A and B are shown apart, each in its own frame.
Chain A
Amino acid sequence: MNDKVFHKVGRRPWEWRGKPDGDTERRRRRVPGTKRHWLKWRDVHNDKSLTRERVLADKMPLWWTLGLGAVVLVTPFLSNTMIGVVTIFCIYAAINVLWTLIVGTAGIFSLATLAVVGAAGYVAAACNVYLGVPWPLMFLIGPLTGLVFGAILAAPSTRLDGLYYALLTMGVAEICRVFILQLRALTASGGAITNVDGFIPEDWFLQRPGLLLGFAGAFVLLLGALLVWRLVNSERLGMLLRVARASREDEAFAEAVGIDFRRARLMVFLISSAALGAVGAFYAMYFGSISPQIFSLDTMLLLFAMMVIGGLGRAEGAVLGAAIVTFIDKGLIELGPPRIILVALCMIGVTIFAREGLTGARAQFRDFRNRKSGEARARRTEKGGEAMPEEATEVHDKQELYYRRFNKRLRDRLKQLITPDLIAEHKKDPLGHHSDGLARVLNYFRRGEMADKYVIHRMKPAEERFRIMAISGERGRPPRVVDDREYTDIKEAYHAVFLLRVNDLMES
């Protein structure tokens, strides 16, 4: 009959929830060789249906799979130019993810990321062209160069902080560019090394199969970068740094509790530098050449814009930003110079409105909504509410809030009922028939919480001596004596309790 379903406020009816069988044991598959689970399933209790439900607590893997899967599925059907654009997107996204590792996880504000890529690319390309090293070995030379270059760059990072280090790395990139431009051997080609061998066969170059192969390689590269990011962040190294970052104001604190976060930061920096070296080797192979353009400020700024638009310090932000900016910069090439202006305007707009880029917008919106609703609740309940805006957002059980509000209103109304007449009435006859007003007040008192509830204590059995005590409200802890007055008449004691309660009510 009644097929209308009512959902709890805040519940998402479209969200799939598993219905685990309560009798069988729960089995979760682990990633081979580790103790990790593939997905973060959590069992929750549904208050309404009183059943156990299984929800996916962390949905990021789902979005990653969907997004990356879409890229793989769509790309083969695109035009030749667009395949090139997607390939470049993959390379940039890989660089950005590794950069995120440096900026976000390690907390080192390095701007020399592209310099590492470029240096590794140059060394690998030079080995290939001038020394005749076969191309698969470039994947070894690249990371090694990246590691060495990263080690040189990392040395001053322990000494300089923030801006100073950013500037230094910018200087290093500039020095690299000038150095390459001044090499005598390369002046003929304007500093570029051309005719680099690669994994794409020569006769496939710029043909559709070659482009697809290039895309496949770049996609594997992106997956590799994401894997590095994931490994670093989920292993001991990343966790150490997360702890250190939680107490960023006080790095001394992290050191005092035994976290060698400086070393951890350096390790992360070195790992990502080596990975960036591999990207550099790939870069040289894919384009078949490498030019000093890679060291230039403009390219660096373009990549920085990607990270900023997506959200600094998040892998998903790095990839999303790379997608947006690469599409504007390479996909809308017929727009001409204004497309860089468009990128810059995107950057300004996102930064003005979003705290942490596009991928942080959701959390920011939630914070905003919580704050506003808290403020509104506080305003609405100004007459009867007891919850502060900040508190109202903290109290999870909304029923609690409404109860407090109700209680406050009730007390306000009862306060008006209390008059000298009413007290006199109670004094005359503490038990027995009461007027409507007194009955209401007494009913309220009876319903009060156990903690600090007053009781009458007969001091000796069969003796008419009474004291007033208050119950502690905690198991095992005896009641406390309220005052040392003794009453010889039980009615007097009743009335004294009544007065105490009235007093408490009027004070609240």
Chain B
Amino acid sequence: MDLGLVVYAMNLAAIYALMAVGISILWSSVGVINMAHGATFAVSGYAAWIFTGAMKPVIAGAFGTSAMATLALAGALVASALIAGALCGLVIYLLAFLPIHDKPNFQVRALIITLGLNIATVQTLLWYFGPRNQGLPKIFGFGRWEVLGTRIRYDQAGTIIGATLIMALTLAWLRYSRKGLEVRAMMQNAEGAAYSGISRQATALPVLMLTGALAGMAAALLSQTIFVSPTSGTIPLVKGLTIALLGGLGSVSGALIAALLVGFLEAIIGAVPFLGQRYVLFGTFIFIIAVLVIRPRGIGGLLDDTRE
């Protein structure tokens, strides 16, 4: 396997992991399958597009065309995407969590509401911006590195590094902060969490905003490779959901491993001459279905060795 393929696979895996980990955390701690994750993705992309479009003249005026200008633009892009993602999380909290979280059928109803939100948002974007693709400024530039005889594009490297950084930050937050501990406690036993003085309403908001921000980050990173369009969130949503399921919903490490697996699988299928790019989705689904039929709890089921 050559290095280019590995980098490509890592690139895919990084984006998938951002989506899947968000979906997985949200499901196990709050009990919402967030179908609006794709909408969050698209909204963040558009927010970044609008904001960078507005900031470009300002930044050009302040820094000219120096390296500082690129840096400021990158900051503006990432920050706007993150903030838009978090705000989407807030909207989901207000619509799909707060009114119904102690009513019957909460999980199914939350799924339906987020699904409705997804459709409504995507259609609104289509209506307002039209189906045209929008290109965002390339914050990593267009160059390539020569490493061990293969070329690595800057945006690929940037995506991998950025995603790894964000994932590491998220995991560290979950692991070491007090709020993260509360989230993990709620993921594992909601009733026990209540007995430990952890409020569901107070924990759900940061989790929803965090997962929204993760989707925003994924949008910002993916915008370096492909264009932003109203429906650009659908494929990441479906991929994120499938990978979260493959990882065994609720298992963060399972989702990470699943993202890596699927990333490599897609890269390999795309590279094999007689299969090619057309069979990527096909192959991934078949792989996931096969794994789930053999191990119904996904990869997380293999990792979890605690007693029932």
Question: Do A's and B's CB atoms come within 8 Å in the complex?
Answer: yes
Residues of chain A having any CB pair with chain B under 8 Å:
156, 159-161, 163-164, 167-168, 170-172, 174-175, 178-179, 182, 297, 301, 304-305, 308, 312, 336-338, 340-341, 343-345, 347-348, 351-352, 355-356
Bound-complex Cα distance A159 to B282 (A): 22
CB-CB < 8 A to A343: which residues of B?
A: 119
Bound-complex Cα distance A174 to B288 (A): 13
Whose C-beta in chain B lies nearest to the C-beta of A181? B278
Bound-complex Cα distance A358 to B95 (A): 19
CB-CB < 8 A to B242: which residues of A?
A: 167, 171
Q: Which of B95-128 contact A (CB under 8 A)?
A: 95, 99-100, 103-105, 108-109, 112-113, 115-117, 119-120, 123-124, 126-127
B116 and A348 contacting across the interface, CB-CB below 8 Å: yes
22 A-B residue pairs with Cβ-Cβ distance under 8 Å, sorted by A, are A161-B296, A163-B245, A163-B249, A171-B285, A174-B238, A175-B285, A175-B286, A178-B281, A179-B282, A182-B278, A304-B115, A341-B120, A341-B124, A341-B127, A343-B119, A344-B116, A344-B117, A344-B119, A347-B112, A348-B117, A351-B113, A351-B116
Bound-complex Cα distance A125 to B226 (A): 38
Q: Which of B285-305 contact A (CB under 8 A)?
A: 285-286, 288-289, 292-293, 296, 298
Q: Which of B73-115 contact A (CB under 8 A)?
A: 95, 99-100, 103-105, 108-109, 112-113, 115
Residues of chain B having any CB pair with chain A under 8 Å:
33, 95, 99-100, 103-105, 108-109, 112-113, 115-117, 119-120, 123-124, 126-127, 234, 238, 241-242, 245, 249, 278, 281-282, 285-286, 288-289, 292-293, 296, 298
A352 and B95 contacting across the interface, CB-CB below 8 Å: yes
CB-CB < 8 A to B241: which residues of A?
A: 167
In order of increasing CB-CB distance, the 5 nearest A-B pairs are A344-B120, A347-B116, A171-B285, A344-B119, A348-B116
CB-CB < 8 A to A160: which residues of B?
A: 292-293, 296
CB-CB < 8 A to A352: which residues of B?
A: 95, 99-100, 109, 113
**Contact for A174 among B127, B281, B293, B296, CB less than 8 A:** B281
Chain B contact surface mostly: helix
CB-CB < 8 A to A159: which residues of B?
A: 293, 296
B296 and A164 contacting across the interface, CB-CB below 8 Å: yes
Would you give the shortest CB distance from B243 to chain A, in whole angstroms? 11
B95 and A348 contacting across the interface, CB-CB below 8 Å: yes
Bound-complex Cα distance A338 to B119 (A): 11
Whose C-beta in chain B lies nearest to the C-beta of A302? B119
B123 and A163 contacting across the interface, CB-CB below 8 Å: no
B123 and A341 contacting across the interface, CB-CB below 8 Å: yes
Query: 15 other contacts beyond A343-B119, A344-B117, A355-B103, with CB at 8 A cut-off?
Result: A160-B292, A160-B293, A164-B245, A164-B296, A168-B289, A175-B281, A178-B278, A178-B282, A301-B119, A304-B115, A337-B127, A341-B119, A341-B124, A347-B112, A355-B104
B116 and A305 contacting across the interface, CB-CB below 8 Å: yes
Whose C-beta in chain B lies nearest to the C-beta of A343? B119
CB-CB < 8 A to B285: which residues of A?
A: 171-172, 174-175
Bound-complex Cα distance A373 to B260 (A): 57
Would you give the shortest CB distance from B237 to chain A, in whole angstroms? 10
Bound-complex Cα distance A146 to B234 (A): 28
A348 and B292 contacting across the interface, CB-CB below 8 Å: no
CB-CB < 8 A to B123: which residues of A?
A: 337-338, 340-341, 344
